[in-house]
Amino acid sequence: MGDTDTRSPARPRRPRKSRPQPETLVAYYRQMLLIRRFEERAARAYTEAKIGGYCHLNLGEEATVTGLMAALESRDYLFTNYREHGYALARGIESRRVMAELYGRSTGVSKGWGGSMHLFDTESRLLGGYGIVGGQLPLATGAALAISYRGGDEVVMCQMGDGTTNIGAFHESLNMAALWELPIVYVVVNNGLGMGTTVAHSSAEPELYRRAAAYRMEGARVDGSDVAAVRDAAHAAIDRARSQSKPFLLETVSPRLKGHSVVDPARYRSAEEKDALKAAEPLARLALELEEAGALSAEDRDKLDAEVKAEVEDAAAFADGSPHPDVSTLFDYTYATPVPGESRRLPADPLF
195-221 tens-digit pLDDT: 878 888 888 889 999 999 999 999 999
Question: Residues 81-136: pLDDT tens digits?
Answer: 999 999 999 999 999 999 999 999 999 999 999 999 999 999 999 999 999 999 99
C-alpha separations of 326 from 103, 111, 315, 351 in Å: 14, 10, 21, 22
Quick one: pLDDT at residue 9? 60
pLDDT of residue 271: 81
DSSP string, 191-252: -SEETTEEHHHH-SS-SGGGGGGGGT-EEEEEETT-HHHHHHHHHHHHHHHHHH---EEEEE
123: left (phi over 0), alpha (psi -120 to 50) or beta: alpha
Radius of gyration of the chain (CA): 21
Least confident of 254-268, 289-303, 309-323: 254-268
- Mean pLDDT across the stretch 280-306? 93
Q: Determine which helix (DSSP H) or strand (DSSP E) holds 158, and give its type and residue range.
A: strand 156-161
Tell how strand 184-190 and strand 77-81 pair up. Answer: unpaired
Residue-level pLDDT at 132: 93
Tally of residues, the chain = 352
Q: Is the pLDDT of residue 6 over 70?
A: no
Question: Where do the domains of the chain lie, and which CATH numbers do they carry?
Answer: 22-322 (3.40.50.970)
In this structure, of 147-156, 187-196, 258-267, the range with the lowest mean pLDDT score is 258-267
Model confidence band, residue 12 (pLDDT cutoffs 50, 70, 90):
low
Mean pLDDT of 332-343: 87
